[in-house]
Amino acid sequence: MAMQFYASPEQVMRDRSEYARKGISRGRSVVVFSYEGGVLFVAENPSNALHKVSEIYDRIAFAAVGKYNEFENLRVAGVRLADMRGYSYDRRDVTARGLANAYAQTLGAIFTEQSKPYEVEICVAQVGASAEEDELYRLTYDGSVGDEPGYVAMGGQSEAIATVLRKGHRTELGLADAIALAVSALASVGGENGQPRTLTAPQLEVAVLERTRPGRAFRRIVGARLDELVTSAGTTPAEDATEAPPATEPTPPAAGGES
């Protein structure tokens, strides 16, 4: 009788975590953060059909990185749960916190009970009446959930992207400046020899949850408007500040001085 290979539970969990992290790190990044007008979502995504950012409910949206078929299943399940809860009780009972808890339970069960974990990382965001009331929840492959302080970066090299966001993020940013910061953060990694890249509008997926929009707050930014905003983001305020000052006229030597 052949003996079965034994692995400790700790080793199994470590192997699953490493497998999921490697899959997520290969994905293109997404950033989500609060700005003056609401919550901004910017994903590096050249596909026009396969969205990384989507609406969940009236004032709630979803962003994800990793395997598309897996996070699309989660998105559809979240939409169904939100619709059922809003229909059965009240639309105000549908919250990002409740959806994040449901996602955490689902991802945790998949991670512990199935042989293959989901290779996904997701963010559930809800826009509030002010930036202080915005809610951003980040969920990882094992069901861990965190309440993020104003900004989230997910996907490959997310730590380096988060560093750029941390330095430049302010809730007072307008839409143009917020997109400039997001593009700068995404472009700061992945270039040759560690140099920043140049990202264009066709490479990006951009959406917002608008703070003052009644009813459904989710809106995609596409077409000419996206081209205009991304083009204007080519020169950020930080880069403007580093430009060389204008040359000044030399001071003529005093009379009787050296020639």
Taking only the tens place, the pLDDT of each residue in 121-166 is: 999 999 999 999 999 999 999 999 999 989 999 998 899 999 999 9
Average pLDDT estimate for 109-114: 94
Question: What is the model's pLDDT at position 4?
Answer: 62
Average pLDDT over residues 95-110: 97
Question: Which of these ranges, 10-14, 150-154, 231-235, has the smallest mean pLDDT?
Answer: 231-235
Average pLDDT, the chain: 88
**Rounded to 5 degrees, what are φ and ψ at 107?**
-65, -40
Calpha distance 55→208 (Å, rounded): 10
Decide if 29 contacts 161 (C-beta within 8 A). Answer: yes
- Say which residues have a Cβ less than 8 Å from residue 16's Cβ, sequence separation at least 6: 111, 116, 117, 142
What's the confidence (pLDDT) of residue 241?
A: 34
User: Residue 184 in contact with residue 164, Cβ under 8 Å?
Assistant: yes
- Please tell me the pTM assigned to this model: 0.86
Question: What pLDDT score was predicted for residue 137?
Answer: 97
Specify the pLDDT at position 3. Answer: 57
* pLDDT on residue 234: 67
Mean pLDDT of 41-66: 95
The C-alpha atoms of residue 123 and residue 146 are separated, in whole angstroms, by 10
What span, in angstroms and rounded, lies between the C-alpha atoms of 96 and 78?
10
**Any idea which of 37-41, 132-136, 218-222, 235-239 has the lowest mean pLDDT?**
235-239
Residue 243, pLDDT score: 39
Neighbours of 259 (CB within 10 A): 3
- Over range 19-37, report the average pLDDT: 93
Task: Give how far Cα 205 sits from Cα of 47, 183, 202, 237, Å.
Answer: 8, 11, 8, 22
Residues 95-101 have a mean pLDDT of: 97
> What CATH architecture applies to the domain 19-235?
4-Layer Sandwich (3.60)
Q: What does the DSSP 8-state code read for residue 210?
A: E
CB 186 within 8 A of CB 199: yes
The pLDDT score that the predictor gives to residue 245 is: 42
Give alpha helix (H) positions in 56-174: 68-88, 96-113, 158-168
- The end-to-end CA distance of the chain, in Å, is 102
> What is the mean pLDDT of the segment spanning 75-104?
96
What average pLDDT does this structure show over 245-251?
A: 44
pLDDT of residue 2: 58
Give percent of the chain with pLDDT exceeding 70: 88
